[in-house]
Structure 1
């Protein structure tokens, strides 16, 4: 009898552990979606408000108006991507949006680098980055301007190949990086700057 009870208790615990393990990704996704919505609302508040020195609580921390104005937006029409780009790469930021890899980057200058999680949902992060082909358009919206890039290279690289992030003299590029599905390698999409214009409405 005791043996049967022990097996029953162990079985129940295994079911609970399995349920928790299944639940964790959904809870993480819910938290990320909530933070992303809060960030979008904060950006709208800054854009629409006539007040100055606005501070809002986003992702568990206080962000100033100046910090929010540093947030950019990446648009890739061919894969229906429209994601915010945060100025710093941290694990928390990567859960919510795309991030700049190098500090103090300037849009339209050098090699502007952006990282993003692969994600398991088609509309999230860089999940569809592998579908991009040469000639496709990448739009970076920043500082009331839109920077238009044309893809010239898509490749799979090793995580240690950091040279792909370097600037090159007289070249203005963008480099997008995410993991392969297995996570062992990286997918790199590179584009060259075609032109920059006054900011367009997203989707134009």
Structure 2
């Protein structure tokens, strides 16, 4: 075999391997996105007024015992296909202890996610997570965090399209709380005061990374004010 033919052969093989690797990465990405969506949808479908009450009681008991590690954002890592697969397997084999305490919807950007207690990976792989131990819907500043992903339609990524005047809905399956967005801004990750209560205000605050870039230092913040509360029909 001539030298030229060898180069052509190895060059073709290299291109084939690159193509297969690219297909593999695309498949992993699609599988991750599907699994994240599936986990969130399953959590929402399993949620009832009774299950929410029980989940809140469990969270209150843990807080009373000083077990607040679920709220330590430093323990939260960027999602990977392996992380997502692990939680998918836990769900499949009935090993998951996740229970939603509510649902978050922003119709203008197609966001519809379960709300879990704290910001652990098990919570944020499914949807939104509460940032404070004792927060309650419709009172104070109800603060939620979520992942910003490269896929623009999952988790908190759609928040990039939120504008002032959009509605944000929270529900605990007993009441539905409608907030109207009053401010959208980007701030440094260390400006944690954005989740503090504001005297005389009933707010919701949504926080996510400003981009999907690894190590992103800035945070996108969505702030809304409570406009109405309606009882959920039985």
Instruction: Pick the TM interval, shorter chain.
Output: 0.7 to 0.9
The alpha-carbon distance between structure 1 residues 12 and 105, as it changes in their structure 2 partners (threshold 3 A), is: same
Select 2:105's aligned residue among 75, 90, 107.
Answer: 75
- In the alignment, which residue of structure 2 is the partner of 1:186? 219
Residue of structure 2 aligned with 1:135, choices 165, 185, 197: 165
Normalized against structure 2, the TM-score is what? 0.66
Q: Of 16, 24, 39, which aligns to 1:35?
A: 39
Give the root-mean-square deviation of aligned CA atoms.
3.0
More helix by share: 2
Alpha-carbon distance in structure 2 between the residues aligned to 1:23 and 1:36:
20
- Whole-angstrom CA distance in 1 between matches of 2:182 and 2:28: 39
Question: 2-side partners of 1:200 and 1:188: how far apart?
Answer: 32
Question: Offset of 1:140 from its aligned partner?
Answer: 0.7
- What residue is the counterpart of 1:22 in the other structure? 26
Do the aligned residues in 2 keep the contact of 1:35 with 1:59 (CA within 8 Å)? no
| 2:232 is the alignment partner of 1:199 | yes
**1:167-198 C-alpha deviation (Å, 9 max, x unpaired):** 22332211011222354321101011223221
Cα pair distance change 1:195/1:37, threshold 3 Å = closer
TM-score, normalised relative to structure 1: 0.74
Unmatched 5+ residue regions in structure 2? Answer: 52-89
Q: Which has the higher strand share?
A: 1
Structure 1 unaligned blocks of 5 or more: 48-56
Given that residues 39 and 58 in structure 1 are in contact (C-alpha distance below 8 angstroms), is that contact kept between their aligned partners in structure 2? no
- TM superposition shift of 1:137: 1.8
1:167 is aligned to 2:171 = no
Q: Does 1:95 align with 2:129?
A: no
Counterparts of 1:167 and 1:79 in 2: how far apart (Å)?
A: 26
Distance 2:209 2:229 in 1: 29
The separation in 2 between residues aligned to 1:187 and 1:74, in whole angstroms, is 17
Q: Would the aligned equivalents of 2:150 and 2:212 in 1 still touch at CA under 8 Å?
A: no
| Alpha-carbon distance in structure 2 between the residues aligned to 1:112 and 1:191 | 10
Q: Which residue of 2 aligns with 1:126?
A: 156
**4+ residue segments displaced more than 4 Å:** 1-16
| Residue 72 (structure 2) aligns with | none
Paired with 1:191 and 1:75, the residues of 2 have a C-alpha distance of 13
